[in-house]
């Protein structure tokens, strides 16, 4: 079941999916308000970027979608005893809503019901999200029902889709869905290469789990993702092996936190319109430098269409390289 909650002050939308059984536990009985309050506390505290800090001298690293909260802290927040909190967290774990690991300082909870956040209209996905199975009578999948009127606007969704490399509206045809996920696989791997060349990302910073499961190189990652997609898709439904999907989602979340919103990378964005404009002008004035295929398009559909297609199809690295070479010929 899908839930969207809004924090107007911070402009954050929490996106969750809960099964019927999970909702029953949250809503039924006299402890219902306590359960909901506890879940909200965990959801509100979950980090959206990898975060490291010390708790009583112990180094703690939280990945996206995790929150550190001891039974003592939760008991104080909920105004109840630790035993009640312990039972509640254990039940959340049994229902598949959380995975909790405890040390002698605190407990780290991985949230499986939280799909992600819309922050200022930008979608941040939670790599720890685990899709629940439908349990209500007559259900064939998750029931998605917003419980708030504070859903992102159409403009916010469109902006998020553009920023998230084709994570917008689901395509209505199988072919469209294949193109979408193929595009996502290609873009994220090319973006890693571009970020490394730009000095925004170091190879050692890529999440260890993603490297271990998907591979250390662009070719290896694409090969793993494509093979997993082919081998696990059935009956018109596209799917990857769970551990591959989880590693891919973690890599995607990592890229948002460390690359797409990196101040250094964002600072370069203002140069992009000028670069694209100069590339367009260069090929309009030098059509003979278009590739043969684009020469044919220019003959059939006009030079503007050919130049637009050529520039639009460039990777970041190729665009910069072509721009540099174009300066020599101006």
Per domain, the residue ranges of the chain are: 2-116, 168-261, 270-329
Q: What's the fold here for domain 2-116? A: Arc Repressor Mutant, subunit A (1.10.10)
d(CA 190, CA 262): 17
Which phi and psi angles does 298 have, rounded to 5°? -60, -40
Please report which confidence band the pLDDT of residue 264 belongs to, taking 50, 70 and 90 as the band edges.
Answer: low
For residue 4, what pLDDT is reported?
41
Residues 6 or more apart whose CB falls under 8 angstroms from that of 326 comprise 278, 279, 282
pLDDT digits (tens, 9 = 90+) for 282-327: 888 888 888 888 888 887 778 888 899 999 888 877 888 888 877 6
Residue range 7-47, pLDDT digits in tens: 344 578 888 888 888 998 999 888 899 999 999 999 999 99
What is d(CA 234, CA 32) in angstroms, rounded to the nearest whole number? 39
Write down the pLDDT at residue 66: 94
Residue 71 has pLDDT above 80, yes or no: yes
pLDDT of residue 170: 63
pLDDT at residue 151 greater than cutoff 90: no
* More confident of the two residues 165 and 97: 97
Checking if the pLDDT of 67 tops 90, the result is yes
- Prediction pTM value: 0.41
Q: What are 210-253's pLDDT values in tens digits?
A: 899 999 888 899 999 999 999 999 888 889 999 999 999 888 88
Q: What is the pLDDT of residue 176?
A: 81
- What number of other Cβ atoms are within 10 A of residue 191's Cβ? 19
Distance CA 78, CA 36 (A): 10
Main-chain phi, psi angles of 128, to 5 degrees: -90, 0
Residue 257 clears pLDDT 80, i.e. is over it: no
What is the Cα–Cα distance from 75 to 78, expressed in whole angstroms? 5
Percent of the chain's residues with pLDDT above 90? 22
∠ at Cα 262 (259, 263), nearest 5°?
A: 155
The pLDDT value recorded for residue 55 is 74
């Amino acid at each position: 079941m899908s839930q969207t909650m809004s924090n107007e002050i911070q402009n954050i939308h929490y996106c969750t999916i809960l099964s019927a059984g999970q909702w029953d536990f949250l809503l039924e009985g006299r402890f219902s308000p306590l359960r909901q309050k506890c879940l909200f506390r965990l959801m509100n505290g979950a980090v959206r970027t990898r975060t490291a800090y010390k708790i009583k001298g112990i180094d703690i690293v939280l990945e996206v979608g995790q929150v550190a909260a001891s039974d003592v802290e939760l008991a104080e927040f909920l105004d109840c005893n630790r035993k009640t909190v312990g039972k509640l967290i254990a039940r959340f774990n049994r229902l598949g809503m959380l995975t909790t690991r405890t040390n002698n300082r605190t407990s780290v909870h991985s949230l499986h019901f939280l799909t992600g956040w819309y922050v200022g209209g930008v979608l941040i996905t939670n790599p720890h999200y685990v899709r629940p199975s439908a349990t209500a009578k007559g259900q064939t999948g998750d029931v998605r029902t917003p419980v708030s009127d504070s859903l992102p606007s159409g403009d916010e969704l469109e902006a998020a889709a553009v920023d998230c490399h084709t994570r917008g509206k689901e395509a209505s045809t199988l072919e469209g869905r294949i193109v979408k996920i193929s595009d996502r696989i290609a873009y994220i791997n090319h973006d890693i290469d571009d970020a490394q060349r730009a000095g925004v990302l170091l190879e050692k910073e890529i999440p260890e789990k993603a490297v271990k499961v998907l591979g250390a190189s662009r070719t290896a990652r694409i090969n793993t993702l494509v093979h997993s997609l082919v081998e696990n898709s059935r009956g018109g439904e596209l799917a990857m092996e769970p551990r591959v999907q989880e590693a891919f989602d973690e890599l995607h979340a990592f890229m948002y936190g460390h690359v797409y919103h990196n101040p250094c990378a964002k600072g370069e964005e203002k140069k992009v319109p000028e670069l694209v404009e100069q590339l367009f002008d260069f090929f309009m004035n030098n059509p003979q430098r278009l590739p043969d295929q684009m020469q044919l398009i220019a003959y059939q559909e006009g030079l503007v269409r050919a130049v637009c297609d050529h520039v639009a199809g460039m990777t970041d690295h190729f665009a910069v390289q072509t721009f540099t070479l174009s300066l020599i010929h101006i």
